[in-house]
Amino acid sequence: MLPVFLLVGSWFESAPVWARSERWIGHRTGSSWRSRVSGSGVQSRANSTAWPPANSFGAASSDGMASTPSTAPHPLRSSVVTASMWAGGMIAITLALPGCSMPYIPGVTSPPPSAGVTLRDANGREVGNAVLVQEDGGVRVLLDVKGLTPGTKAVHVHEVGRCDPPSFESAGAHFNPTRAEHGLENPRGPHAGDLPNLTVDATGQGHLEFTATRVNLKQGAASLLDGSGTALIVHESPDDMRTDPTGNSGPRIACGVVNRAG
């Protein structure tokens, strides 16, 4: 809504006085004052002696324009100014709060960091895609797969952004900058790259959404984009969520490098 307020406010300040007339605005918005209609259609401004009629912004002059405008604020202008001030105040308050950031508003704030992943199997066939978006509490991961064997599959972020088939061992171990043990249910874990299991249905498709709170798409040790990069890997078997170092998740069946969007 903020860009709309700013645009309206800018138009209102630069518009001629007659365009800011309360009755002209009322005509344009379909309220009480309307153009008179004759047998040949709507009367034009040229043959209408009441265009624009006298109003609070001044009396109509001979050329149809209002003269001696009033300095009294118009209700619409007051509303625009009030709304713009309110929106600006909300932005200032949000930025002043610790740990808070502005939501993405096109044209006002920058989009959050994001990344994309294309997963391929050992034969190079595309079997999935993922989108990663930075949020205040971590990175939102949205993963979709197709063409996989049905069942429950482990999903992990690995510490190197390389996916050399067929084994994908080039992606290294799990992404684990804090040197914790593996497993979301392990009291001494988890790895930063540990994610929930993915369920693949009978059609070979699966979907997973999860916020990974121990990683980011910015900078630093927990960044998925710094250094040698990272990769997203799907395993053949489910993760038991406790066994170090891999959760007994089986072979790596699909891999995709995490690439910065844009």
Per residue in 7-42, pLDDT tens?
Answer: 434 444 444 444 444 444 444 444 433 333 333 343
The 10 Å Cβ neighbour count of residue 196 is 15
Q: Is the separation of the CB atoms in 223 and 216 below 8 Å? A: yes
pTM for this structure?
0.63
**SS3 label, residue 20:** helix
Residues 6+ apart with CB under 8 A from 137: 211, 213
First to last CA, the chain: 26
pLDDT at 101 over 80: no
Q: Is the separation of the CB atoms in 155 and 198 below 8 Å? A: yes
The 10 Å Cβ neighbour count of residue 253 is 21
Confidence band (pLDDT; 50, 70, 90) for 181? very high
> What average pLDDT does range 195-200 have in this prediction?
98
Residue 27, sorted as left (phi over 0), alpha (psi -120 to 50) or beta, turns out to be alpha
Q: Is the separation of the CB atoms in 155 and 256 below 8 Å? A: no
Pairing type for strands 198-200 and 231-235 reads unpaired
Tell whether the torsion through CA atoms of 153, 159, 163 and 165 is positive or negative. Answer: negative
Residues listed for the chain = 262
Phi and psi dihedrals of 14, rounded to 5? -95, -10
Residue 38 or 180, more confident? 180
Residue 256 or 109, more confident? 256
DSSP 60: B
- Write down the domain spans for the chain: 2-96, 114-260
- 225 vs 181: CA distance, rounded Å: 22
**Architecture field, domain 114-260:** Sandwich (2.60)
